[in-house]
């Protein structure tokens, strides 16, 4: 099963970044849920780690909601990724089996090293991109793909 936590968190953060540029930077969980095609309780659970790590601020009440805690240009995609997936590895290794040959003896260690290398590359790539960069890139896609135009 594919993990969509990062893509969901990124989409929510992009929506909040777009809202921050407008008159009302605070977005209700209901509005975010509608944008993500899910329900408000899922959005609230998604926002918890983003709030704990200082990327989002939330307020309760009738006019409450979520907003970026820092400018979009100061939030990296690597931060969003780490908040969304935590320390869960990118891949899981098969359970170890009986060590009967060099493959079965070393497969788990090799896979752990490969996973660490790939995760490092992913985090490095995401660390170079800010939320503001991503919003700009996304808007560029909107200009080149007119059939996909939409809001925000």
Looking at residue 147, its pLDDT comes to: 61
Secondary structure (H, E, C), the chain: CCCCHHHHHHHHHHHHHHHHCCCCCCECHHHHHHHHCCCHHHHHHHHHHHHHCCCEEEECCCCCEEEECCCHHHCEHHHHHHHHHCCCCCCCCCCCCCCCCHHHHHHHHHHHHHHHHHHHHHHHHHHCCEHHHHHHHHHHHHHHCHHHCCCC
The yes-or-no verdict on residue 145 having pLDDT over 80 is: no
The yes-or-no verdict on residue 60 having pLDDT over 80 is: yes
Average pLDDT (56-78) is: 92
Confidence band for 152, pLDDT divided at 50, 70 and 90: low
Confidence band for 18, pLDDT divided at 50, 70 and 90: very high
Token pair 């170890």 is found at 96
């Amino acid at each position: 099963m594919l993990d969509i936590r990062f893509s969901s968190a990124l989409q929510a953060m992009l929506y909040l970044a777009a809202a921050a540029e407008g008159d009302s930077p605070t977005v209700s969980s209901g509005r975010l849920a509608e944008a993500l095609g899910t329900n408000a309780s899922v959005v609230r659970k998604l926002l918890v780690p983003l709030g704990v790590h200082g990327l989002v601020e939330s307020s309760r009440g009738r006019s409450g909601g979520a907003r970026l805690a820092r400018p979009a240009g100061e939030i990296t995609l690597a931060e969003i990724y780490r908040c969304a997936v935590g320390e869960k590895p990118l891949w899981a290794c098969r359970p170890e089996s009986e060590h009967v040959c060099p493959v079965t003896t070393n497969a788990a260690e090799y896979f752990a090293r490969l996973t660490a290398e790939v995760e490092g590359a992913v985090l490095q790539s995401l660390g170079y991109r800010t939320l503001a960069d991503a919003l700009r890139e996304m808007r560029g896609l909107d200009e080149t793909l007119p059939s996909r135009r939409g809001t925000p």
